[in-house]
Chain A
């Protein structure tokens, strides 16, 4: 493993790739920091740029964007008291008050350093667990893959914000849209209406650009003219040693960080929920376990530590099912999956066997990008603060143009450009209906996988569905999926104020 990792670092340490990654991290931080832009958007918009690069350079860039954007949310959370992404909601609780008390630099320093530690921790976990998981997954057949796809979809649909019915509907609709095009197994054309461009179905990237970027621009049009854009206050970096906090404070936070890291990693592995949930959960637990729990919410660095460690620890967690099973756990990893496929790489257990060096290049890129993030985010802070002031009405139209370029770049046809408008409208309708978009995306991606494996599994067992239930692993996952739905129905019937809902409401 060390040898492979060495090779990986060797590949990443070329001037070309390092430069790309530095740009990627910086862009990612900007996308994370500006409220309304997201990690998903950053990766989706930059994916077309990687078409002409080799897989190593391309995937390193995407990884750098992912890390930068996950961490960048803390800048606006602390300076503007608006979370840049849902993954830094809990950072606002204590980061905001710290800023008001004139300790903004300390809050930022703590946030950035613990983001770094959380990410490194999760990458280490990824490097040790993923190869083992891949070995287990090698023995999986169609029954298991079908069951895991159904399980992931159920989880994401039931756990996404909003009602379970809407979440499940969004997931099922995603699968329905994925059935457009030539069917697996017997290659019948389905729902193409004679349009030859539809034979291959909608491209994954056009669906995602539409749902996340175009829908966002339409949403801005709705309220943007009345919204008051917060003005980011700058912080003085004079007389700041190190990262703005003392070693004693650092040591005191270590147990909290360790716990939050584990929570972030654990929640990150599960499909459907990730950094958006784990930062709140670890914040609540940190507050409960702290001796001075009264000071949480009034400017305790423990709150920033819990939230930022947890959300960044989700990175390694989310990469695990993606790399070992080819199943994306959230929307960012869904686009990463697109990035893998564009470079001709099929994520899954075989990836570790056939593309060992590339896997370790990705690991190395993750580590290098994390180190870059640590220094760039803290010492380049003033620049990022300036970028927060770029007016939205200038920024978002330019992003729409980049969306069009990205869609067109997929295969140089205007059909894809129209698709992003179609899915943009759908995404906007989802927003209006209070329906989460993530289950739709994951349904769209896992749909073909579920269908193909269902058909294969049925062929293997002479159209006897019982085999899906009697195979131990497949049966367990299907049982868990069912249990999840039942549990959600049960808890919906007996509404109990959960801690997360309480926090979200305030």
Chain B
């Protein structure tokens, strides 16, 4: 089975899964007599499930078709994914981890400190392989950006970002 069909199949399963979760929740809503607040969610859940099933069927259909054809003739969609790109799941996970940590500590530690730390680390994580990591420059950009954004919003746009540990400023 080609990876493409496997991918389409997984997408179909995910679509159907989300639809079923939504349907269960929709049926738990109070009401269900005539037209009420539950009507539209229930109808939507039906439509979502139908589309999920259609996606699954089309994935299976393609699979059968792909098996019948010679390997060189991939299904239509292959044009989209043809571009060979090196994908780094590790960088994605690191980035997500950084964003998660940034948001979690934004309240307790505060915007100015967390932004500077996040930017510095995120610059390092995203630095292209053919670039050198320049720690002093990164640190400088991170601190300046953080300070400028914090002060700009506080002074010019009346938006008090969480000060956290720097509450005394």
Contacts and interface: CB of A to CB of B under 8 A. Distances in A.
B44 A402 contact: no
Contacts of B145: 398, 401
A88 B145 CA distance: 31
Contact of A185 (B37, B99, B158): B37
Contacts of B22: 176
Contact of B25 (A191, A434, A435): A191
A166 interface: yes
Interface in B48-63: 48, 51-52, 54-55, 58
Contacts, number: 165
Interface size class, chain B: 35 or more
A495 interface: yes
A449 B52 CA distance: 25
Interface residues of A, number: 66
Contacts of A48: 157, 159
A248 interface: no
A38 interface: no
A218 B44 contact: no
A166 B160 CA distance: 41
A291 interface: no
A188 B44 contact: no
B51 A405 contact: no
Nearest to A409: B159
A401 B48 contact: no
Nearest to B15: A169
Contacts of B17: none
A32 B149 CA distance: 22
Interface of B: 11, 14-15, 18, 22, 25, 29-31, 34-37, 40-41, 44-45, 47-48, 51-52, 54-55, 58, 76-77, 79-81, 85-89, 91-92, 94-96, 99-100, 102-103, 106-107, 115, 118-119, 122-123, 125-131, 141, 145-146, 149, 153, 157-162
> 8 nearest interchain CB pairs?
A393-B126, A183-B37, A221-B95, A397-B122, A188-B37, A169-B51, A226-B86, A433-B11
25 contacts: A48-B159, A52-B157, A163-B55, A169-B48, A172-B51, A176-B22, A176-B44, A179-B40, A218-B92, A218-B95, A220-B126, A221-B126, A223-B86, A223-B87, A225-B126, A226-B86, A394-B141, A401-B118, A401-B119, A401-B146, A402-B149, A404-B102, A405-B161, A408-B161, A409-B159
Given A222-B91, A429-B14, 19 more contacts: A48-B159, A165-B54, A173-B18, A176-B44, A188-B37, A217-B95, A218-B95, A225-B128, A226-B88, A393-B126, A401-B149, A404-B106, A405-B149, A405-B161, A409-B153, A414-B106, A435-B11, A455-B40, A458-B35
Interface of A: 48-49, 51-52, 162-163, 165-166, 168-169, 172-173, 175-176, 179, 183, 185-186, 188, 190-191, 214, 217-218, 220-229, 391-394, 396-398, 400-402, 404-405, 408-409, 412, 414, 417-418, 421, 424-425, 429, 433-435, 451, 454-455, 458, 463, 495, 505
